[in-house]
Chains A and B, each alone.
Chain A
Amino acid sequence: MTVTSEPDLKEHFAETIARERRIEPRDWMPDGYRATMIRQIAQHAHSEIIGMQPEGNWITRAPSLRRKAILLAKVQDEAGHGMYLYSAAETLGADRGELTEKLISGRQKYSSIFNYPTLSYADVGVIGWLVDGAAICNQVPLCRSSYGPYGRAMIRICKEESFHQRQGYELLLTMMRGTDAQRAMVQDAVDRFWWPSLMMFGPPDADSPNTAQSMAWGIKRHTNDELRQRFVDMSVPQAEKLGVTLPDPELRWNESRGHYDFGAVNWDEFKAVIAGNGPCNAQRIARRKAAHAEGAWVREAAMAHASKHRPTERANALRPAPCPEQSAYGPHKEEESSKRVSPEASHD
C-alpha cells in the first residue's frame, strides 16, 4: 500500500465531491464533514419520529375507515423513514441509542413544525399538503447528497412521501367540496400552518453561516431562501385550486422576478420555538422520553433472552440446515433457526 499524506486524502475527497460522486462509509472525510453529516441526518431522523406524534393524534378519530387506514399507513411510513435515516447516521459511527439521548436531552433538534399542535382533522390534510410538500422541496435535492447512504435513504423516502402529500391534498379537496363546517375547518388549519411551513426551510440565508460550507461539501444543494421561494411558488396555485386563502396579504406574483413575492416571516416566533418555547416542545419530548424509558425493561429482556440462546460456533457448524416442517415454537427454536444462511433461504 502506498503511503498517502493527508493533503492527498483531502484532494481525493475534494475531487470526489467536485465530480458529484458519492462519499461512502469507508472513505476518508474531513472531521467537519462527518460531524455536519451526522448532525443533519440525525436531526432529519428525529423529525420523522417526532412527526409521528402530531399526525398520530388523529388516527383513532379519523372520520372514515379509509382515511384511518391512510393515516395509519402514513405514520407507519414515518417510523420507517426515521429508521432508514438513523441507519444512515450509524454508517458514520454514530450510535442510535446515543442519538436518542441527544434528542431527549435537547442537544439535537428536530423540525420546528412538529412543535405545533394538530387541533382538527383538517390539520391532517394540511400537514400532508404543506408540511410534506415543504419536506419534499427540501428532500429531493438531498437525493443527490454527496454522502452515499444518505442520498440512497432519501430516494426511498421521497418515493413514499409523494404518496403522503397526494393523500393530504386529496383530503383537503374532498373537504373543500363538502360542508361549510369542513371548509371552515380547512381554512383554519391553513391559517395555523402556513407560516410555520415557511419556517421549515430554516432562517434566511444571511443568518445561516453554515450554508456556504455545507454547499461546498455537497451536503446542501440549495440555500434556505431558494427552497422557500420554490415552495411558495408551488403552493400558491395549489391553494387557489383548493379555494383556500393563504394568510399573507403581501402574497402576489412578481412578473419581473418570475416568482411570488411574499410577506416577512416572523423570525422571533421561529427562534422562540427552536429555543423550546413552542406550543408542543415539552410534550413531544416527554412522549419520546417516556416510551424510551418505559421500554427499557423490554429491550433488556430481549437481550437477556438472546444471550441465553445464542448457539456456540461449533454447535452451529455441526447442525444441519433448517427443516421447514419443524414446529414453530419449541424451547430451542431460536438456536435452530439462526444458523448459517443458505443462499436460497427466502423468508415466508
Chain B
Amino acid sequence: MTDSRADWPLFEVFLRGKRGLNHVHVGSLHAADPQMALRHARDLYTRRNEGVSIWVVAAADITASSPDEKDPFFAPSGDKVYRHPTFYEIPDDVPHM
C-alpha cells in the first residue's frame, strides 16, 4: 500500500494558447498545493512557453456530467470527473499483451 501521508493530490490542467479562444483540458499532474501545480503545469504542459494561460484545478473540486447518461447505476449528473473509485484493484502484468 502506498504511503498516503506522502501522496500528492491530482490536479487537472487547462490551457489556452496564445490565439485560443478558451481553456482546453490537456491532462493532469500531481502536486502538493495549487502553486506547485501551476509551476509543474508550466514545466510539463507548456515547456515554459510564454503567453500560454494555465488553469489548474484539484480533480476533487470538479463536478462533471456526461453527455450520454445511459447507465442507471451511474450517479446522476454532478458526479466526480472520474467515475471509477481509486481503490479499484489494479491488474498485474499478464505475460502476453
Binding site for B on A (CB under 8 A): 1-4, 8-9, 12, 24-28, 34-36, 38-40, 42-43, 80, 83-84, 87-88, 90-102, 107-109, 149, 153, 202-203, 207-211, 214, 220, 274, 296, 299-300, 302-303, 305-306, 309-310, 334, 337-338, 341, 345-348
Q: Assuming A93-B82, A299-B8, is B96 touching A202 (CB within 8 A)? A: yes
Q: Assuming A28-B70, A99-B90, is B84 touching A299 (CB within 8 A)? A: no
| B68 engages A27 (CB within 8 Å) | yes
Kindly report which residue of chain B lies nearest to residue A341, judged by CB atoms. B55
Query: What A residues does B97 contact at CB under 8 A?
Result: 39-40, 43, 202, 208, 210-211, 214, 220
How far is it, in angstroms, between the C-alpha of A4 and the C-alpha of B33 when the chains are bound? Answer: 40
Kindly report which residue of chain A lies nearest to residue B77, judged by CB atoms. A1
Whole-angstrom distance between the Cβ of B35 and the nearest chain A Cβ: 6
Whole-angstrom distance between the Cβ of A131 and the nearest chain B Cβ: 18
Smallest CB-CB A-B distances: 3 pairs: A93-B84, A302-B32, A97-B2
Q: Assuming A35-B91, A80-B44, A306-B33, is B27 touching A28 (CB within 8 A)? A: no
Pairs across A and B, CB under 8 Å, 17 listed: A1-B69, A3-B72, A4-B70, A28-B74, A36-B91, A39-B91, A84-B27, A87-B27, A87-B28, A90-B10, A97-B3, A202-B97, A210-B96, A210-B97, A296-B3, A296-B6, A347-B52
| A348 engages B42 (CB within 8 Å) | yes
Partner of B84, one of A88, A92, A209, A346: A92
| B6 engages A346 (CB within 8 Å) | no
| A93 engages B93 (CB within 8 Å) | no
Whole-angstrom distance between the Cβ of A348 and the nearest chain B Cβ: 7
Q: A39-B90, A337-B35, A346-B16 are in contact. List 4 more A-B contacts (CB 8 A).
A: A2-B70, A35-B91, A90-B28, A211-B97
Whole-angstrom distance between the Cβ of A46 and the nearest chain B Cβ: 10
How far is it, in angstroms, between the C-alpha of A233 and the C-alpha of B63 when the chains are bound? Answer: 49
Partner of B71, one of A4, A88, A203: A4
How far is it, in angstroms, between the C-alpha of A299 and the C-alpha of B7 when the chains are bound? Answer: 7
Kindly report which residue of chain A lies nearest to residue B7, judged by CB atoms. A97
Kindly report which residue of chain A lies nearest to residue B40, judged by CB atoms. A83
Kindly report which residue of chain B lies nearest to residue A35, judged by CB atoms. B91
| B90 engages A94 (CB within 8 Å) | yes
| A346 engages B51 (CB within 8 Å) | yes
Query: What B residues does A98 contact at CB under 8 A?
Result: 2, 90
Kindly report which residue of chain A lies nearest to residue B54, judged by CB atoms. A347
Binding site for A on B (CB under 8 A): 1-3, 5-8, 10, 16, 27-30, 32-36, 38, 42, 44, 50-55, 57, 64-66, 68-72, 74, 76, 79, 81-86, 88, 90-97
Q: Assuming A28-B70, A87-B27, A88-B27, is B33 touching A210 (CB within 8 A)? A: no
Q: Assuming A9-B71, A347-B53, is B84 touching A107 (CB within 8 A)? A: no
Q: Assuming A107-B92, A302-B36, A338-B35, is B86 touching A12 (CB within 8 A)? A: no
How far is it, in angstroms, between the C-alpha of A96 and the C-alpha of B30 when the chains are bound? Answer: 9
| B2 engages A25 (CB within 8 Å) | no
How far is it, in angstroms, between the C-alpha of A27 and the C-alpha of B83 when the chains are bound? Answer: 9
The residue in B5, B32, B34, B74 that gathers the most chain A C-beta atoms within 10 A of its C-beta is: B32
How far is it, in angstroms, between the C-alpha of A91 and the C-alpha of B16 when the chains are bound? Answer: 21
Query: What A residues does B65 contact at CB under 8 A?
Result: 26
Kindly report which residue of chain B lies nearest to residue A25, judged by CB atoms. B82
How far is it, in angstroms, between the C-alpha of A102 and the C-alpha of B79 when the chains are bound? Answer: 29
How far is it, in angstroms, between the C-alpha of A264 and the C-alpha of B55 when the chains are bound? Answer: 52
Query: What A residues does B86 contact at CB under 8 A?
Result: 93-95
| B92 engages A102 (CB within 8 Å) | yes
How far is it, in angstroms, between the C-alpha of A203 and the C-alpha of B97 when the chains are bound? Answer: 9
How far is it, in angstroms, between the C-alpha of A204 and the C-alpha of B72 when the chains are bound? Answer: 42
Query: What A residues does B71 contact at CB under 8 A?
Result: 4, 9, 28
Q: Assuming A88-B27, A101-B2, A303-B5, is B70 touching A39 (CB within 8 A)? A: no
Partner of B90, one of A3, A38, A153, A296: A38
